[in-house]
Amino acid sequence: MITGATGAGGGGALTAIAGGFGGFEGGYNWQFNHQWLAGVETDFDWSHIDGTGTSNFILGSGLPAPSNFTASQNIRWFGTVRARLGYLPADNLVVYGTGGFAYGRIDENVALNSQGTPNVNNGGNSYFCFTGPNCAVGGSSRTATGWTAGGGFEYALWKNISVKAEYLYLNLGGGDNINLVLQSIPTLPPPSSFTASFTRTEFHTVRAGLNWKFN
């Protein structure tokens, strides 16, 4: 399946995440009367869903201009395991709702871009860092879990082949706390550090697919 996804995540610095993905799915359906069916589905998708944003950072009057944090988030892959309940308004068409478990691999990175001086000390708050991009960096890679819900329709083209369109909302839970250690040199005191927090990762997907029915 090849589709697109949009969403929001990563706290104040990260404005939105978006991208595409593709993968495969499988499942089982039981039609328990003429107009209703129930089933279970699982899918796995490789993805390039990401986003980048910035937020200003000011540490006292020692900085002549605001520095900023740059945050990025990338969802490498994700999958779901879901229940499905469908209604058949016609023999070759099913409209359904679905929901269940979701998981995914998330890379998160943060960098402090300094516009101040190498040694900033204001009211006891200080750090030692040369000006420029990537004054401090930090990151993490994790497998997150959460939940998903959505719906769609599936239309039978022939006896064993159907096409489907589906919407899913995915919530992969709260984010990480990432420690950023600022750069220093041996003649300066040990580097200071900051902690950047990511909020929950959530996004929306719209997908289309082609399914084969095994009798």
**Is residue 185 exposed (0-12), middle (13-18) or buried (19+ Cβ within 10 Å)?**
exposed
- Cα 184 to Cα 129: distance, rounded to the nearest angstrom: 6
pLDDT tens track of the chain, all 215 residues? 323 333 333 335 656 788 999 999 999 999 999 999 999 999 999 999 998 888 776 555 444 456 777 888 899 999 999 999 999 999 999 999 999 999 999 998 888 777 655 545 444 455 556 556 777 788 888 999 999 999 999 999 998 999 999 999 999 987 777 777 665 554 555 555 677 778 888 999 999 999 998 87
CA atoms within 13 A on the CB side of 105: 8
- Cα 94 to Cα 91: distance, rounded to the nearest angstrom: 8
Q: Tokens for 15?
A: 């404005």
Residue closest to 86 by CA, chosen among 21, 160, 156, 23: 156
CATH of the domain at 33: 2.40.160.20
What is the structure's pLDDT at 152? 97
Residue closest to 206 by CA, chosen among 162, 159, 155, 152: 152
| Count of domains observed in the chain | 1
Domain extent for 56: 2-212
- Cα 113 to Cα 109: distance, rounded to the nearest angstrom: 13
What is the structure's pLDDT at 31? 92
